[in-house]
Amino acid sequence: MIALIQRVSAAQVSVEGGVVGQIASGLLVLLGVEKNDDEATARKLAEKVVNYRVFSDELGKMNLNVQQAVGELLVVSQFTLAADTQKGMRPSFSKGASPELARELYHLFSNYCQELGVKTENGQFAAEMQVTLTNDGPVTFWLQC
């Protein structure tokens, strides 16, 4: 399971012109699910995302996690993160999870984040989405479990 996290001062997801999820300060999480991922993987990655220290403390050092910074999460499914780009000029998606497994683990991941105490908004799984964000920093990290 892959999470591309971006520290944002604002982010939102729209589907067919309507906003389906939005946050103020926090993390935009683009989430890719691979075929060997399971519930334990989703829980482990949720804990890592929620506890990852990418927000500045009073000394300007990245020392605070999203909860400590009183931030929120916007989780967006992104199957292209599981692409294999090593060969050729076209990505292969053979490592990606089936839509059924990906949907289940996407929702479990979001639920775990909420259980860990972080307000969590979502995009719409398998929809054509428009994501708008203001990257703060910019600060972007690739996390994988």
Domain assignment of residue 34, given as a range: 2-144
Q: What is the CATH number of the domain that holds 116?
A: 3.50.80.10
Spot the catalytic one: 80, 85, 132, 144. Answer: 80
Amino acid at the residue 72 = E
Q: Are strands 72-77 and 120-122 parallel, antiparallel or unpaired?
A: parallel
pLDDT at 129: 98
Amino acid at the residue 58 = E
Cβ atoms within 10 Å, residue 117: 10
Is-contact 13 133, C-beta < 8 A? no
Catalytic status, residue 78: yes
pTM for this model (two decimals)? 0.96
Reading the block at residue 36, the tokens are 């060997």
Spot the catalytic one: 79, 109, 120, 125. Answer: 79
Amino acid at the residue 87 = K
Spot the catalytic one: 6, 12, 41, 78. Answer: 78
DSSP 82: G
Domain count, the chain: 1
Predicted confidence pLDDT, tens digits, the chain (145 residues): 999 999 999 999 999 999 999 999 999 999 999 999 999 999 999 999 999 999 999 999 999 999 999 999 999 999 999 999 999 999 999 999 999 999 999 999 999 999 999 999 999 999 999 999 999 999 999 999 9
pLDDT at 92: 95
pLDDT at 62: 97
Is-contact 133 6, C-beta < 8 A? yes
